[in-house]
Amino acid sequence: MAVNKLALIRYKTIDDCLRNRFRKWTLDDIIEKVADTLYQLEGITSGVSKRTIQADIQLMRSDKLGYNAPIVVKDKRFYAYEDPSFSITNAPINNADVDKMKEIVGVLKQFNAFNYFDEMSDMIARLENNLYKSTKQSGNNIQLESNKLVKGLECIPSLYQAVLNKRSLLIEYKSFKAHQAQQGIYYPYLLKEYRNRWFLICKAKKRPGILNLALDRIVEFQELPNEDFFPYRGVDFDRYYDDLIGVTKSERDRAQKVILEFTNDHAPYVITKPLHHSQVILTQNEKTTTFRIDVVLNFELEREILGFGECVKVLAPRLLISKIKARLARTFSQYKITDEEPERKTEIQI
């Protein structure tokens, strides 16, 4: 079991190296990286031999594990994937792996009743469903929210290791507003999900404050082992994001009392699925129910409110009222038809 585990760590590390297009990888570079990963994850100080890594590469190239990795040597020195999009993580798993994973899921289900595992319930159900579906023992028995078109999910394992091991990163990032991607050094602190979109919470070397980088906007990244890591010294992130809907927040932002009035035909949805854990009911009458939440004012909060349309009215604070009114006015102006502009019929072809 231990040998299999170490082998998997080696294969995954080699795969991470060959997928990293930032640098060229010699055999010695790969050996050094694998040895470093084994030390970080397993505390192994003896390193790894050249013969072992050469055998691993040959095995990854072969069909024995189902990888068939297109590993080539360029300029008689540098190892790379001939297909830049290839990864062994995309390879199908065999029946033996499925059986072993079923055993693991079975063990996890035994622990699911304990408080520490409360947040894993949906994950365990998803794993079990996918395993049974992969062996065609049953159809799809559970559908959890997912978006297979979301980009950047393949970065999560490597970024998680960087967060865990406190490693500085060189990241090439292209925001939606930028004309071209920019490179910078970042110190990763946390991976955070919001509505099926993942973010890296970090600090830039040349900028103050905490940033969130959307994983789907990260072009490439690599660890910088020789770059000193700047540790996070702020409040615990569970507390930092406790007063927030979404991920957008600066260290100066503070929660405000947000008062929302919902029509009674929609209030039950808000009661059964609270907008935030701070939510309380203030008043109820024949037509409306008024709620209060204590959260930071940000873009995600505005989008959440606007999503309820005519069923909600913001009563406080004034700043949020002004923002919502302005956005609704701009929305209304897109549908407004003036006397000078006759209504146009738009044909939509599907």
Chain segment 49-67, per-residue pLDDT in tens = 999 999 999 999 998 877 8
- b or e along 270-301 (b: 16 or more beta carbons within 10 Å of the residue's beta carbon)? beeeebbebbeeeeeeeebbbbbbbbbbbebb
Residues 8 and 86 in one domain: yes
42 assigned to some structural domain: yes
- pLDDT over 50 (residue 231): yes
Chain segment 249-269, per-residue pLDDT in tens = 988 899 999 999 999 999 999
Residues 158 and 227 in one domain: yes
Domain boundary among 60, 90, 120: 90
344 assigned to some structural domain: no
108 assigned to some structural domain: yes
245 assigned to some structural domain: no
- CA atoms 243, 298, 163, 224: torsion sign: negative
**Alpha-carbon distance 232 to 321, whole Å?**
35
CATH code for the domain of 82: 1.10.10
Residues 82 and 104 in one domain: no
Residues 8 and 47 in one domain: yes
Residues 118 and 195 in one domain: no
Percent of the chain with pLDDT over 90: 56
Instruction: For the chain, state the CA radius of gyration.
Output: 25
Number of domains forming the structure of the chain: 4
118 assigned to some structural domain: yes
Which residue range(s) make up the domain with 260?
A: 256-335
Q: Which residue has the higher pLDDT, 117 or 194?
A: 194
73 assigned to some structural domain: yes
320 sits in the region (left: phi over 0; alpha: psi -120 to 50; else beta) called: alpha
Domain boundary among 36, 64, 90: 90
Determine the pLDDT at residue 2: 38
Residues 79 and 109 in one domain: no
Question: Does pTM top 0.85 for this prediction?
Answer: no
